[in-house]
Amino acid sequence: MKQFYIILLVVVVYSCDYFNVKKTSSEAILQEELQSFDWDNVDMYPSFYKCDSLQLKEEKRVCFESTLHHEINKFLQKQVIVVTQDVNDTLMLKLSVANNGKITLLDTKMDALTKAEIPELETLLLHSLDALPKINPAIKRSQPVTTEFEMPLIIKVE
């Protein structure tokens, strides 16, 4: 019987490690979560109202990009642009959609000839963005987030 108590005592003493609770700080949990977080992808792309009825993520992205491209082209086609030489260039627009839905032109890459022939082009692009319909921001983990992307835009003036 004495051996039983000794064995029980040994088991109790060594099993105390199983009952230790490790404290984890909230900062450690946050760091672990941030490392597992995929920063390059969003759950839902920015969208215009007319794209909201689409279900698939890829369809919404295509709808957003084509609507944006169409709206900018429609605005630029209404403008009277006079050039001395034909302009045929593909601009690269770097855009940002803020978490409140506001779209911003971050950068424009264009040929030197285009810039010389149409010096007001960047201003026209900014006005075209102001004329866009309401944009819903991208969503990541049920939160609106700011996104950046590049979009080609063909400029052809004769």
Residue 88 lies in a domain: yes
Read out DSSP for the chain?
-HHHHHHHHHHHHHHGGGGPPPP--HHHHHHHHHHH--SS--SB--EEGGGTT--SHHHHHHHHHHHHHHHHHHHHHTS----SS-EEEEEEEEEEE-TTS-EEEEEEE--HHHHHH-TTHHHHHHHHHHTSPPEEPEEETTEEE-EEEEEEEEEEE-
Residue 16 lies in a domain: no
User: What would the mean pLDDT of 103-123 be, rounded to a whole number?
Assistant: 91
Query: How many structural domains compose the chain?
Result: 1
Give the structural domain span for 109.
Answer: 47-157
Residue 139 lies in a domain: yes
User: What would the mean pLDDT of 11-17 be, rounded to a whole number?
Assistant: 61
Residue 35 lies in a domain: no
Residue 4 lies in a domain: no
Residue 40 lies in a domain: no
Q: Which amino acid is at 138?
A: A
Residue 7 lies in a domain: no
Residue 97 lies in a domain: yes
pLDDT at 22 over 70: no
Q: What is the mean pLDDT of the chain?
A: 83
pTM of the model: 0.72
Chain segment 62-107, per-residue pLDDT in tens: 999 999 999 999 998 898 888 888 888 899 999 999 999 999 999 9
